[in-house]
Structure 1
Amino acid sequence: MTKNIKTGKFIKVMNLLAGFSLITSAIFITACENDTLPGAGSIEDTTPPKAAFTYSSDPEDQKKIVFTNQSESATDFTWDFGDGNTSDEENPSNTYGAFGNYDVTVMATDKLGIESDTTITISVVEGPYQPVLKESGFEGDGDTGDGRDPWRSKSWTESGNSWPDENSVFGISGSPVSFGDQAAKLEAQPDNPRQGYQEFVVEADQNYDLSFWYTMKDDSSDPWATVSIVGVTENGPISSAVEAKAGIIASVTINDTSDPSTYVQQRLAFNSGENTTVAIYFWNDGNVETRLDEFSIDIAPDGAIPPSVSFSSEQSDINYLSYTFTNASVDATSYEWDFGDGNTSTEVSPTHVYAEAGNYTVKLTAKNDAGLSADFSITFDLHSPVTSDFSYAEGADIYTIDFTDESTTAASVAWDFGDGFSYSTTDVNATVTHVYNGGPGFYTVTLTAISSTGFENEKSTTLAIGVPKVLGGDFEDTETGDDRDFWRPNDYSGDEITGDTPYGGSSDGAFQLYNGTDTDSKTRGAKIDGSKCANADGSTPDTDTRYAYQEMDLNPGSEYYLEFSYNNADGTVVAGEILDGHFADGSNALAASLDGSSLVELQGTVSNGEISGGSDSPQWRTIRGKFTAPVSGEVSIWMWAHGGKSYYDNIKILPAAIVDAD
């Protein structure tokens, strides 16, 4: 079953989640403000209370309803449960005398006596317990408003992931989506794979149907993502990705790339067994960009459930024609493999040696004790593997670069130096010297390594030739694994860093590569959460304020431009400064920013800068400003934000001669 993407706004209101929309708008308004509630006689109350709540039944007593308070800017609560019972608890529960519909009201009040109320008609029904998923469509109804709050590991906090081996939480996509305005996105980033995890209550020994929609790009040689159900009661507490995978009681591997512009619906049936708490756990290894949306769970009819079928494959390092297939099926007792070349097997996890390179579809059919079967297949191109890699160093002058081919198992390589010149050779692992006669600029160098069977692998790097290099300026992962290695937060002293990170890493970066090439998808960038913002003058309201600092040496007396891209909402600012000198202590750098001695200060808003990519609002913009390097040549980049969640990317220092010549 397929469904075309809906680009228009569609808001799906579910009774169990009613009230969430009442709390969304204030999140960003107060992001950088003091959260202390006003007292009597204070200034005008700009954050009046807003009442909201959700509810769910107790699986052991379906007449008992548990209420979760979602009200904002309130300190006192009065509940009317619609059956004559009341409460003043923040998160109460109520046991009803009979099944039926009840009008439940919560009155939320702040210290100024200002009130807000909301009423929801709830249904107290008899029958199998109906699980409730939070943020099932990733629309941003939770505490931070970004659609990911309930989808983190159980004890996740904003300071980082709690599981020692946990992947980063998934990104949020604005397009394409299947419903509403947002979807979950697993990035195509092998060095930063993503995942989602949410626990919820079920009834023991009950059949359920999980449904979701997904779309997957078609640019990967090994496209897949897994959506699973983890038995938390039987296997928990779950405190790592390893434990989550070991506790899987049902799963489905998705790999349909036939039409990346169309969402496909997928279902997964499971029995809860002895579990009263389970979790949805989805992930891939960063191999392909995957979007997921609109999760739902329904009570399924009684009866046997087919097995969950899945497997992975691994090519031998010794013989590229040999593959090992690892069976990951759940609740199956017999297996039949079809390797796509006329050979079969009934082993659980077989190894198969193909006769030649080619395109093969491998299919696994699994059967359980109830006689029910299911199958799963993957198609892959069997080739001799090859990995492209290279290093480079400055040669006789700044325009001469020595490139060294470090590819493995390549039969030949092809160089593209990014300036219109290319070079192919069968002399692999050799050093090639190239002179850039086009003058200063950014050049993207690509090395394509080709195997003995024609399989190709590429590596690309953008070089700043004759241009000052801002390390980690594109916020992509580096050889050290983190672009933040090049940026210091404000709480540094010498080489010692004791405070917060300089920014949060984000997959919602600019729609341009560092060399200015437009791209259809977001790159990585830096994020400043609203709670980490500076004051309007750049000073710090608390110790958690995020600043990014990097030292550079420029040609004394020469003119340059500071340039960066940014994305922020109306009323917020992304600021970039060039400080005069290097600073051994972060407090001195902050003082230099505040004393007006900056060589240039840029404040990017929605009303200035040049639009530089993205169709979502607000759009990415680019801003630049000229400055003259001091006599010492020593300068420092200083980045910060004010007013609410903001993003920045592609920070550059450009010689004025390049910019002014355009």
Structure 2
Amino acid sequence: MKKQIKKIVGFTAALALVFAFHSCDDLEKYELPEAGSIADATPPEADFSFTQGAGPDEEWKDYTFANLSTSATTYSWDYGDGNTSTDVDGANTYPGEGTYTVTLTASDALGVVSESTQIVEVVEPPTPAVPDPVIINGDFDKLAKLGSSNLCSCSGWDNDDIGEQGESSSGNGGSDNVVKFDNNEPDHVYQEFAVTPNADYSITIVTSHKTIASTPGTYPGSTLEIRILAGAGYNAGYTPTYYTAAPDFPNSGYGYTTVAQVETAANNLLVETIPNPNDDDYFTQTYTFNAGANDSVALFIRGIGGDSSVGSYGYSSGDEEIRADSVTITAVN
């Protein structure tokens, strides 16, 4: 019995020595796990990717975030601009260009947390360049017309509902390479083409006027008029058809069908005149216009200043020959 008491006293003393040489912090290292607990064998791992929106308005500010996290049940997004979300996948509209730090916090049912952080550079994409319009036979070459073997520099440019066709002539160092307006006739050229709404365009035309006539009975001082006509001005239900070759263009029954429509102010995006300079050299003129709400327009050029009672169109060029050598239209980017 005495031996047993000595053993107990000895064990108690040894235990006292253990507590004397170990702090509370040290003892925590040796705490046993709670009954039934197991280690988190599949802790969460946060990860994500993102995509910038695109579009004609301000969709470039819109970002979507794809959640690529694993072993997680709850999520918290911080988009870096003050906006947050607890959705699985994220989406955010940023206020503008800038650098934003995006953090995804992913947690599992055991309360284990993982974070993934990425830098998002929000940059407005450059505005796509407006393409140049497609103009057919802008050099006024002498080509076959629709339904005819006759050659004319007006090929691709004729609309008999609003004028008589301009005719072929030679000039500016070439042969049969210009279209002319003369002989006190209602000569014109007309062609429709596609444009980008609200875009700016430049039109360049190279022309020449014969010396002002002085013969009695003539109509001197003829003027060349250039108009850009709105594509919706003549018929709200009309859709222009674009052709790839000059001989395919119709000669009538399309687009503007009366001179009254042509001369209606609301239908005109540009009206310019080139009076006779009394110098038969070739001169280059450049003008600009905006397409407005139109996705198609028409270029209409005619001679004016002659006897307007000639023919049935209400206008006529003078007797002096006016020559158009070329016309080009380009987008102003």
TM-score (norm 2): 0.26
Higher RCO structure, 1 or 2 (CA under 8 Å, sep 6+): 2
TM-score by length of 1: 0.14
Larger relative strand fraction: 1
Could you say which structure has the larger radius of gyration? 2
